Structure 1
């Protein structure tokens, strides 16, 4: 799996960390970020689909 590097504000990182760990929803930051990116892309695909901007429904724009 490729690795990427991103810069995010400390406040956002602190919010993210509240959901990570033994008491959180995610095992680690990577899992949390992957889930967030996946969810955001799904939402954007739904918006594009509603506006007929998807060519085949798989996230490709026409």
Structure 2
């Protein structure tokens, strides 16, 4: 699995850490970030589908 590096504000990291560990929803930060990215991409796909911007329909290309 490829690794990436990101910079995030301390407040956001502290909020993330509240959900990580034995008492949290995620085993580690990586799991939390992966879940967040996955959910965000799913939400963006739903928005694109509602607006008719499906695969092959984007004009800007990515």
TM-score in same-fold range (> 0.5): yes
Q: CA deviation at 1:11?
A: 0.0
Q: CA deviation at 1:34?
A: 0.0
Equivalent residues in 2 for 1:28-43, closer than 5 Å? 28-43=28-43
- Which 4+ residue blocks in structure 1 deviate beyond 4 angstroms? none
Residue aligning to 1:49: 49
Residue aligning to 1:15: 15
| Structure 2 runs not aligned, ≥5 long | 58-62
Q: Tell me the TM-score normalised to structure 2 length.
A: 0.89
Query: For residues 11-50 of structure 1, what are the alpha-carbon distances to aligned partners after superposition, in whole Å with 9 as ceiling and x for unaligned?
Result: 0000000000000000000000000000000000000000
For residues 27 and 34 of structure 2, what CA distance do their matches in structure 1 show?
A: 12
